[in-house]
Amino acid sequence: MNIGEAASASGVSAKMIRYYEEIGLISPVQRNGSGAYRVYGAAEIHHLRFIRRARDLGFSVQEIGALLKLWQDRNRASADVKAIAQEKIAALEIKIAELEAMRKALQHLAAHCHGDLRPDCPILDDLAGTTRDFH
Amino acid sequence: MNIGEAASASGVSAKMIRYYEEIGLISPVQRNGSGAYRVYGAAEIHHLRFIRRARDLGFSVQEIGALLKLWQDRNRASADVKAIAQEKIAALEIKIAELEAMRKALQHLAAHCHGDLRPDCPILDDLAGTTRDFH
DNA sequence: GTAATCCTTCCCATGATGGTAAGGTCAAGG
DNA sequence: CCTTGACCTTACCATCATGGGAAGGATTAC
């Protein structure tokens, strides 16, 4: 299987497959007879799917490196994996809270903005720091 | 006021102040006698605070450019500002939903992982795509 | 006058991804 | 056997906002 086929089979773009190889997330695969083309088998596709799924779940490439190691360590403790997942959950919660705060603040401002042709605008007033309390 | 003082007065790092000038978000400020140092006054600090606040609310530098133009246009329609804010709110909501989905998926997996010394781990099973339905 | 602190510009790095360009390889069909 | 088109290769650049550092000039305090 060439890289293009591996890409569509795994959901990871050819570009990214080469990149993951370059940074050492996956080891270099075999090449074809002339050594020109990368050749992928079922095991490699499996790896790539793993990576793809982990990316979708929000893990960074570095974290995926750790997960891959654990995946291949038959004696791993499930606690090690769970710890990584829980750190990620905590990070997600922080990020979500930040975005929620932004959303709330913006919605509050937008709710008080006429949104018509008049120039008066509480949103800009807030950004400019000239807000009079409009509660 | 030199750039360092402007930085602490506005909450925007000196590095970023120069960057914003470089990309044209703010216009070049006056220089001191020898022309070596940038000099900031109250108006510039006000601008920088505006930028800082808008960044905190999640606006990109490009969007802030638009907001700054509107801010300085006395005849702007508040609808124009509100539209930008609402687009940003919508984008935030999409991002939040994505992160929430990740968090949910991870929490579901983590809840089913023993988290002990045994190697059996539903999290890795899921990533590997070998999950047997454990509902 | 000297030392310390600040400022300047320029270059590099981040993280994960996409784009492009120049060129090599392979498979199918004539 | 040769051409053509599809695919692959590497190498470089761009993104977005930010920080780091180096080399050197300006200013300020003593």
**D20 C1' closest Cα residue:** B15
Query: Terminal CA-to-CA distance of chain A, rounded, Å?
Result: 64
Helices (H), chain B: 3-10, 14-22, 42-56, 61-72, 78-111, 122-128
Domains of chain B: 3-76 (1.10.1660.10), 93-135 (no CATH)
**Amino acid at position B104, single letter:** K
pLDDT for A96-112, tens place per residue? Answer: 999 999 999 999 999 99
Query: Terminal CA-to-CA distance of chain B, rounded, Å?
Result: 64
Q: Is the CB of B88 under 7 A from strand D?
A: no
CA dihedral A4, A5, A10, A16 (to 10 degrees): -10
Under 8 Å between Cβ of B113 and A81: yes
Q: Choose among A76, A82, A115: nearest Cβ to B78.
A: A115
Q: How far is the CA of A99 from the C1' of D18 (A)?
A: 19
**C18 C1' closest Cα residue:** A15
Q: How far is A28 from chain B (nearest CA, A)?
A: 20
Q: Choose among A50, A99, A103: nearest Cβ to B127.
A: A50
The reply to whether residue B103 touches residue A118, judged by beta carbons under 8 angstroms, is no
How many angstroms separate the CA atoms of B17 and B13, rounded? Answer: 6
Strand partners, A38: A31
How many angstroms separate the CA atoms of A10 and A30, rounded? Answer: 17
The reply to whether residue B109 touches residue A77, judged by beta carbons under 8 angstroms, is no
- Least CA distance to B71: which residue of chain A? A124
Q: Is the CB of B112 under 7 A from strand D?
A: no
The reply to whether residue B106 touches residue A57, judged by beta carbons under 8 angstroms, is yes
Q: Is the CB of A34 under 7 A from strand C?
A: yes
The reply to whether residue B127 touches residue A53, judged by beta carbons under 8 angstroms, is yes
Under 8 Å between Cβ of A105 and B115: no
How many angstroms separate the CA atoms of A38 and A25, rounded? Answer: 16
Quick check: B132 pLDDT over 90? no
- Residue with the bigger pLDDT between B130 and A125: it is A125
User: What is the token pair recorded at B42?
Assistant: 């109250």
How many residue contacts between A and B have a Cβ separation below 8 Å?
163
Measured in whole angstroms, the distance separating CA A20 from the mean position of its chain's CA atoms is 14
User: What is the token pair recorded at A40?
Assistant: 């992928």
Mean pLDDT (10-residue bins), chain A, 135 residues = 97 98 96 96 97 97 97 96 96 97 96 94 91 51
The sign of the torsion formed by the CA atoms of B26, B32, B34, B38 equals: negative
Q: Which of B123, B127, B131, B134 to mutate to test the interface with A (most CBs of A within 10 A)?
A: B127
User: What is the token pair recorded at B133?
Assistant: 């339905």
pLDDT for residue B133 = 52
Q: Up-side HSE of residue A54: CA atoms within 13 Å toward CB?
A: 27
Quick check: B15 pLDDT over 70? yes
The reply to whether residue A114 touches residue B78, judged by beta carbons under 8 angstroms, is yes
pLDDT for B30-82, tens place per residue? Answer: 999 999 999 999 999 999 999 999 999 999 999 999 999 999 999 999 999 99
pLDDT for residue A134 = 46
pLDDT for residue B134 = 47
Under 8 Å between Cβ of B70 and A128: no
